[in-house]
C-alpha cells in the first residue's frame, strides 16, 4: 500500500497516538542540536557522507520533538514527513517542510547508494538546511 496521507499512516500503525510528552520533546530537540554540531565537525574533517547523515538526523530529531509534543509516536520516516506536511503546512513554510523529505532521500542514497558520492557543497547545503529546519521546528514547540 502506498502512503498517501496521515490517515494511512495511522491505519498501518506507522504513526500512533501517545500521551504528549514535553520531556521527550525537549530531549529530542537537544539531540537534534547535538547531531547538527556533529555534522559541522564531520564537514571540517571532510567526512562528507557523515555530514549529510548527521544533518538529516538533526532534522529527524527536531521533527520527532514536534511529534512528541503533539502526542505522536513514529515508526517510519516518510510518515513523519506526511504528518508535518498535513498538520504544520500553515505554520511552517512548505519549502522548509519539503527539506525533510529531500534529505530523507539523500540519507538513503548516502547509506545505500552504490554510485552516490556527496560533494562538499552537498554537505554544506545539508547543514545549512538542517539549521533552518530546526529553527522552524523550535518556533512551533
**Could you give all domains of the chain from N- to C-terminal order, each with its CATH number?**
6-139 (1.20.120.330)
Average pLDDT along the chain: 96
Helices (H) and strands (E) in the chain, counts: 6, 2
Which pTM does this prediction carry? 0.95
The per-residue pLDDT for range 89-111, each reduced to its tens digit, is 999 999 999 999 999 999 999 99
Give the three cell numbers for residue 43.
Answer: 564537514
Radius of gyration of the chain (CA): 15
Place of cell 560533494: 119
> CA separation (Å) from 74 to 28, 66, 81, 113, 138?
13, 11, 10, 25, 19
Specify the pLDDT at position 2: 84
Q: What is the pLDDT of residues 10-23, one digit of tens each?
A: 999 999 999 999 99
How would you class 99 by CB atoms within 10 Å of its CB: exposed for 0-12, middle for 13-18, buried for 19 or more? buried
For 65-89, what is the mean pLDDT?
Answer: 98
The yes-or-no verdict on residue 32 having pLDDT over 80 is: yes
Amino acid at each position: 500500500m502506498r502512503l498517501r496521507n496521515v490517515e494511512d499512516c495511522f491505519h498501518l500503525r506507522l504513526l500512533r497516538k501517545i500521551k504528549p510528552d514535553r520531556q521527550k520533546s525537549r530531549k529530542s530537540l537537544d539531540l537534534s542540536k547535538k547531531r547538527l554540531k556533529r555534522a559541522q565537525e564531520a564537514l571540517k574533517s571532510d567526512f562528507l557522507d557523515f555530514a549529510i547523515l548527521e544533518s538529516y538526523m538533526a532534522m529527524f530529531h527536531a521533527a520527532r520533538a514536534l511529534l512528541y509534543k503533539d502526542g505522536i509516536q513514529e515508526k517510519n520516516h516518510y510518515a513523519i514527513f506526511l504528518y508535518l506536511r498535513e498538520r504544520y503546512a500553515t505554520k511552517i513554510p512548505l519549502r522548509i517542510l519539503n527539506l525533510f523529505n529531500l534529505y530523507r532521500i539523500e540519507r538513503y542514497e548516502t547509506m545505500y547508494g552504490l554510485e552516490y558520492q556527496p560533494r562538499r557543497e552537498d554537505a554544506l547545503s545539508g547543514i545549512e538546511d538542517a539549521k533552518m529546519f530546526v529553527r522552524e521546528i523550535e518556533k512551533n514547540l
